[in-house]
Amino acid sequence: MQTDNRKATIGWALYDWANSAFATTVMAGFFPIFFKQFWSVGSDTSVSTARLGLANSIAGVTVALLAPVLGAIADKGTSRKKFLMFFAYMGVVMTLSLYLVSGGNWPAAIVLYIFAVIGFSGGNIFYDSLITAVASEKRLHSVSALGFSLGYLGGGILFAMNVWMTLRPETFGFADVQEAVRVSFISVGVWWAVFSIPLLVFVKEPVSSKAAGISAIRAGLAQLKETFHEIRHLKTIFLFLFAYWLYIDGVDTIVVMAVDYGMSIGLQSNDLIVALLITQFVGFPCAIGFGYLGGKIGAKKSIFIAIAVYLFVSIWGAFMQSRNEFYILAITVGFVQGGIQALSRSFFARIIPVEKSAEYFGFYNMIGKFAAVIGPVLMGGTGLIVRSMGHSNEIASRVGITSVSLLFIAGGILLSLVNEEKGKEEAKYLSQKK
């Protein structure tokens, strides 16, 4: 174990710097805009929104089904970094390939995007689980927050460069904005690939057994079966995951659908890009601040604060009229987005058996991905229903964003029932039992 080793901690956190470029430039930024204006040109906006929501949901279901199995297998050998790099570089290749998709070819764009999201999300299963290898229990909140803060900074820096490329394509020698956007996908792939290397070099993976190959697969599947039998005794973990499933769904839905929503209510794409940049750079210091807050008042109370802010945002967003209001909303989201993600991860790490962290983070990410199935479909489906009743696209989109508030309310109620100390006792008992 190398907990609290500075090189290992920084190497681990830099992976967030690496893959956040995909989350910002591709998922939240250019892909939704390019998908509407270039790959789905001529389609009704409600139809393209539904397609995008379906793509995110398909990717989410795929990762959700794979996550616990892969995590259990990785726990039984030295495979966490191997799995992480497999998924990461699959995402890299798919992202690079988006450059090749021609205008109007939305099916190809959707397929590549789905596999890229699977690479991004699948890699995060093993990245998250490695936090217990680099951080002691006392430093879990601060290290988790460091990862997210570097993710906001790194993703924001590359996104800012990509935005500059699209605003001034001639400065970079591009023929037009479309070429600049397509090259941006290449820059994300290269960034992601290069900055994944420090984790590979500096983080040493804890080994729970010497199983390898087929033996590791058999041992992992046996462990997964055993965990399913044990889960009924781990009531705190189960309850937290249920709460997390609901509130993180709202968070992820806002992340992946915000630009699409802004365009649907008539905002300009450049305004939406600026708003995303604002969220990134506000999120950098605020994620660190939430790590500090979690250490002072506890992760659970801090998560409650973030949920309350998101609830306000989801309701306010439905009544938003101007560009400046969207900017204020972006600042507000930036205050809490990194915090709720970082503290949810570190809170979970404190209530699970360390020796089975990859498997349990497999469940954690499975829940997150199943949640991401509900949110985009809820928002897009609600919009389609309202649209079919004869209302405008704008009204349909506003009703859709309001529906997300239900997830924050339900998630907050369940989180209030979670007892962290009881969860730590359950995890300790299970570890001693082994």
Tens of pLDDT, residue by residue over 19-61, are 999 988 898 778 888 888 888 777 776 777 778 878 877 887 8
To which residue do tokens 């506000």 refer?
282
3-state secondary structure of 159: helix
Do residues 18 and 195 lie in contact, with contact meaning Cβ atoms separated by under 8 Å? yes
Do residues 203 and 11 lie in contact, with contact meaning Cβ atoms separated by under 8 Å? yes
Digit-coded pLDDT (tens) for 304-320: 999 999 999 888 877 77
- Asked which of 43-47, 187-191, 307-311, 340-344 is least confident by mean pLDDT, the reply is 43-47
Q: How many structural domains does the chain have?
A: 1
Is 247 inside any structural domain?
yes
Digit-coded pLDDT (tens) for 118-141: 999 889 888 988 888 888 878 888
Q: Tell me the average pLDDT of the chain.
A: 83
Do residues 372 and 244 lie in contact, with contact meaning Cβ atoms separated by under 8 Å? no
Digit-coded pLDDT (tens) for 79-132: 788 889 999 999 999 999 999 988 788 889 999 999 999 999 889 888 988 888
CATH number at residue 162: 1.20.1250.20
397 pLDDT higher than 90 = no
- Asked which of 90-99, 169-178, 375-384 is least confident by mean pLDDT, the reply is 375-384
Reported as a pLDDT band with limits 50, 70 and 90, residue 15 is very high
Tokens standing for residue 389: 């009743």
What was the pLDDT predicted at 404? 82
What was the pLDDT predicted at 199? 94
Cα distances (angstroms) measured from residue 2 to each of 124, 135, 205, 335: 20, 8, 9, 32
Is 351 inside any structural domain?
yes
Q: Which domain holds residue 387?
A: 6-207+214-433
Is 1 inside any structural domain?
no
What was the pLDDT predicted at 20? 92
Max Cα distance, the chain (Å): 65
Cα distances (angstroms) measured from residue 49 to each of 14, 56, 208: 32, 11, 45
